[in-house]
Every structure is written in structure tokens, then in C-alpha cells.
Amino acid sequence: MKTTILALVALSLAGTSTAHALEWHLGVAYASDVENVADLYEENLRIEGFDAEVDLQFPRGIAAGVMYDWASGIRADGGLGPVFFIGGDVDHFEVPVSATVGYNFLRTADISPYVRAGIVYHFASGDYYASSSPGVFAAAGLDFERFSLEVSVDSSEVKFDAFACNAAGAECRPGTQEFSTYDVVAAFFWKFRTYGSRR
């Protein structure tokens, strides 16, 4: 009996060993609200009396990820980016890290729509950076044979040191401001399959 069970398990594994795959993704992405970070830095410098230049180096950042999927269509993704940083007279660096689960609707087709959702956290540092809080990450996209297109929403927030001014702007006090820096992200990824097959 044990021999029969082991044989069935072995046959099952042999039949499904190529029905799952590992992919690496590398691409470029645009985040909708990163300009708000540059605006906050400029406003802080103005209030402090500095005539400084804030240069948003990469509003379109580099992004990467890894995806593992199964024959059922279930997929698990890990993501890094898009990365952006501010230079000039001040510095700010930010990179989100995400983990999601999702579903490929037409896994073995040449074009497959998919959805995925999970959690995201932004690792950041900078002159006015205070803290980060995790949030929900949700995405929908199209998988082609060699590339993917994706639109995602990111509800995580980053807290910054900022100034609260009265209506006339004559009196300003130190405080904090928290907002989503990557509200909506549009991304293009090249895909590199390193293990397994979709069929």
C-alpha cells in the first residue's frame, strides 16, 4: 500500500513538474505622487529661509520582481521598486518592497490578464523623512510572452517633517505631514523565465 501511494505521488510530481514556473521581472515605472515629495522639500526649504534647488532625479524609477506561478493559475509575487530619489541641496531616497498573491486568468495563453494583491512597505531615508507605514497593494495587468504591463495602487504612507503655517503664512510651526507617495503606479516589465514552463 505504501509503495502504491509513493508511486502515485511520484507520478503526480512528474506530471506537474513543468506546470509551474519562476520568472524574474525588470522594468520601468511611473509613480503618480512622487512630485508631492519634491514640493514638500521645496516648501520646507523656503520656510527655513533657504534658496535651494530640489531635483527630482527619477520620477520614472527602476522596478524589479520575482513571480512563481502554478498550473491552477495562482501566483505569488515579490516586488522591489520603483526606486526614486531627490538630489540637489537635499536628499531623499525611497524604494517600496511588496509581497502579493494573485491569479492568472489565461495562464497558458499568449496574453493573460491577471490580478494580484498584498502588502507593501516603503524603505526611505532623507533630510525630512520621519517614518513609513505599510499599506495595501493591488494590481491588474497583462502578461505577454516576453513582457508585462501593469497598473497598481499603493495605500502605504510616508511621514515627513513639515511646517504648519497659518492662513496668512506669517507664522509656521514644526510638525509632520503623512501621505501616499506612490498612489498609482504604471509599469512595464521585461520577463526572464528561469525555471519551469507555463504548459
Distance CA 14, CA 9 (A): 9
Instruction: Supply the pLDDT for residue 159.
Output: 95
Instruction: Supply the pLDDT for residue 16.
Output: 43
Q: Which of 76, 71, 64 is nearest to 108 (CA)?
A: 71
Could you say which of 3.30.420, 2.40.160, 2.60.120, 2.60.40 is the CATH number of the domain covering 23-196?
Answer: 2.40.160
Instruction: Supply the pLDDT for residue 7.
Output: 40
Please state the domain extents for the chain. 23-196
Mean pLDDT, contiguous 10-residue spans, the chain (199 residues): 40 44 92 85 82 65 92 94 83 94 91 97 93 97 94 96 74 86 93 69
What DSSP designation does 144 have? -
- pTM of the entire predicted model: 0.80
